[in-house]
Structure 1
Amino acid sequence: MAAARGRFPDPRSRTVAVLLTALVAFGPVSTDLYLPSLPAMVDAFGTSVSRAQLTLSMFMAGFAVGMLIYGPLADRFGRRPVLLGGILVYVAASIACLVADGIDALIAARFFQAVGACCGPVIGRAVVRDVHDRAQAARMLSTMASAMALAPAIAPIVGGWMFTLFGWRANFVLLTLFGVAVLVATWRLLGETNRHKDPGALRPARVIGTFGLLLRNRTFLGYTLVVSFGFAGLFSFISGSSFVIIDVLGLPPQYFGFAFMAVVVGYIIGAFSGGRLSGRVGIDRLLALGTALAVVAGGAAAVLSWLGLQSLATLIPFISVYFFATAWIIPLGTAGAMGPFPRIAGAVSSLLGFIQMTIGATAGYLVGALHDGTTHSLTTIMAVMGVASALAYWGLVRPAAAASADGSADASATGSGPTEPSGPR
């Protein structure tokens, strides 16, 4: 380990923090860059809105599958080799997206692109947990989220102009180059941070047992559902935004990114303030406020939509507030879910990500399937996801925290405590 540390920067350094932010940004960059070209791809491939939207939903499905793979692999073999392998898969699949000659081929390539891309957030979060305690991890994840928000702020603008000037395939050229750049940076900058490699992490019985223990743990399940429903509301907008803003509200594709940036500004402010406030106010209080904001913002957008008030002015401000709320919900809820399990951080990150992406993909699919040429499906599903996130907080997180504080429940019997599965370390 000493030699390895000498070769690479300190994993707590700003240099590695920037790299981890780029790794976590694999998902947003890979979805947001080509959003402005989605409506045109319907015509280019002679397909439907719902089928074109599957290039997003199947990306989330691939993310969900990959989430289950990378955590146990990283716990068994270490973070670095598994991460490098995943990025190689991403680069290869990005090239397949670039040369796809039909919508079915593109959907399939997007699935495998996501399988590669999800190594970034799974292992990036595990690295953060490897080198930071729970409170420090919450601040670090919030700081990374505020920096990462630059990706969805800039990517649609770049993607819109790339599409206007060169066509939709140009965006996949950029994604391929992005993958190559991150691969080189990871090879040169990130050393191994897993000091507790688990030889039994890939045993089916152990994997199932670990996942089963986590699903019975009310603390993990509560935080995970808060994060997952909050993310699903956010992804509902990402999934339907280009069709709603370009087709329904009539904004030209090259200007779509600026409308999207107005929404992302809310996320940037939320992530920046969440990182500053979490240490003083506490994770749980900020989650309570964040879920309440999501309910109010999503509900207001849905009510205005069903009243027939459909315009950028009645949509973007409320979605921006919703994004502000999710910038508290996602990183702080993630820290809450992962905090009690430092020795199985990879498995925890995997299961959390699987649930998050599965719920997000389902919400995104429903936005496309129910799209009726209005803003109804988009805003309604966002509102429902906000309510679900709040219910998960008040129904699971708060009772589990109260039981833990009172010492009234045995962790192994109720699943409300921070017990980790036993096994070889």
Structure 2
Amino acid sequence: MSAPSTAAAGAAPPASINPGMAILVLAMLLSIQPVTTDLYLPALPALTRSLGAQMAAAQLTLSGLLLAFGCSQMVWGPLSDRFGRRPILLAGLGIYTVASLGSAFAPTMTLLIVWRIAQGAAMGAVVMCARAIVRDLYTPLDGARAMSKALTGLGIVACICAPLGGVLSEWLGWRAALMALTVYAVATLALVALRLPETLAHRNPKALQPRALVGTWMQVLRSPTFWAFSLQTTATYGGLFTFLAASSFVFIDVLGLTRTQFGWTMASACVAYLAGTFLCRRLLVRQGLLRTVAIAGALSVSGGTLMAAVAFMGWHQPWALLLPFYLFMLGHGIHQPCGQSGAVGPFPKAAGVASALNGFMMMLAAFGIGGWLGMRLDGTVWPLVNGIWFWSVVLALISWTLVQKFGAPREHA
């Protein structure tokens, strides 16, 4: 593992951090997203029945959370550039802990949605700061390697989350699965408070001034490198979110798996993602960033197309849909570290804003997908299959065209 690069920030950070500890903290911070979504997915059908809600309302517990997650980053990003990463992280994790308790004890679906939206807003601070910290500590290429290591940790956590959520919801009820989020939040808050120094070398005193803020946004949005990598991460997350939002209803209600079996199904997909993060590091060393993304695009579209093919042939069995989806997840394990690092790479002095805009794009797509699935889930596998196939094709086209043309970043002042 390469040590954090001070060149990325233009000067030595105010406090040093051990390289191994940096990766551990980043893994914990980034993992809060799959913990928040994957742990409760096995309980989603039971939760919907328990609160007497419609399927569209149940989808809002996920899509509403992610919309708040995306929108809040537009606020958290400039705040972190102005005041530093550490205070924003502590505030976000504190709010997240309170919202997790509220979600676990919500008596109605309406209140559950409200608390989940608060959770999403707080989660925006955590994940946005994690991406910005990568730019604080590393150059763009080293950042992709560091991000892949942190996302390996995320993959391990995600592998545990779905089976744990299935066991908790089956043995103790759906509220236990939501209560587990509080435990994770407290542990992460303690780690940040005790072991993470401030990583931003130079705070930007003008970051919150309206004219300066608009100027920074425009600087980021004018960058074709930012758009290439942000569209790449949006497309790969679109395919993943389609699976997250639809899979519990398809695999449990349509294909007949138990909640525990579904949890292990989710874990198997996470293993494929985990393998993708390891493959990413090898490919980056041997092939470079752009060819690595192109290879990942081929994996993604192969998985989505094969999944559609087996569905069209009538093989509506869990294993038949999962095997090709593993290819998509293998590609996802490459796309996310490359895309997230690439999107903020040109902006060492505005990494918070760039990270926020990148996250906003992903979550806006997720909210749209959630609304679409809420109307399309019809007791068949087709909404799941068609959604993943669509995003896999879009992802491959972006990886083979925009990223190849604009993916070599030019650092902005």
**What interval of TM-score do these two structures reach, taking the shorter chain for normalisation?**
over 0.9
The one-letter code sitting in structure 2 at the alignment partner of 1:68 is M
Distance 1:245 1:2 in 2: 50
Q: Contact conserved, 1:229 with 1:360, CA < 8 A, in 2? A: no
Residue in 2 that maps onto 1:381: 387
Answering whether residue 333 of structure 2 is matched by residue 335 of structure 1, we say no
The one-letter code sitting in structure 1 at the alignment partner of 2:120 is A
Question: How far off is 1:363 after superposition?
Answer: 2.0
Distance 1:3 1:327 in 2: 29
Distance 2:27 2:33 in 1: 11
Distance 1:386 1:209 in 2: 34
**TM-score normalised by the chain length of structure 1:** 0.91
Q: How many residue pairs align between the two structures?
A: 403
After superposition, the C-alpha distances for 1:113-140 in whole angstroms (9 at most, x for unaligned) are: 0111122221111112111111111100
Match of 1:315 among 321, 333, 343: 321
Residue in 1 that maps onto 2:28: 22
Aligned pairs for 1:7-406 within 5 A = 10-401=16-407
The one-letter code sitting in structure 2 at the alignment partner of 1:35 is L
After superposition, the C-alpha distances for 1:33-81 in whole angstroms (9 at most, x for unaligned) are: 0111101112111122222121111111111012111111110000111
Question: How far off is 1:371 after superposition?
Answer: 0.8
* Pair 309,2 (structure 1): closer, same or farther in 2 beyond 3 Å: closer
Distance 1:3 1:219 in 2: 26
Larger mean Cα displacement after TM superposition, 115-124 or 243-252? 115-124
Distance 2:206 2:14 in 1: 24
Q: Contact conserved, 2:69 with 2:124, CA < 8 A, in 1? A: yes
Residue in 2 that maps onto 1:419: 412
Distance 2:333 2:222 in 1: 27
Question: How far off is 1:2 after superposition?
Answer: 10
**TM-score normalised by the chain length of structure 2:** 0.94
Distance 1:184 1:372 in 2: 44
Secondary structure of 2:204's aligned partner = coil
Residue in 2 that maps onto 1:407: none
Q: Contact conserved, 2:103 with 2:115, CA < 8 A, in 1? A: yes
Secondary structure of 1:149's aligned partner = helix
Distance 2:289 2:14 in 1: 34
Structure 2 residue ranges without an equivalent (≥5) = 1-10
Residue in 2 that maps onto 1:410: none
Structure 1 stretches of 4+ with a deviation exceeding 6 A read 1-4
Question: How far off is 1:417 after superposition?
Answer: 4.4
Q: CA RMSD for the aligned pairs?
A: 1.8
Structure 1 residue ranges without an equivalent (≥5) = 405-415, 421-425
Distance 2:233 2:387 in 1: 16
Q: Contact conserved, 2:28 with 2:153, CA < 8 A, in 1? A: no
Question: How far off is 1:351 after superposition?
Answer: 0.7
The one-letter code sitting in structure 2 at the alignment partner of 1:191 is P
Residue in 1 that maps onto 2:8: none
Distance 2:213 2:14 in 1: 29
Distance 2:12 2:200 in 1: 13
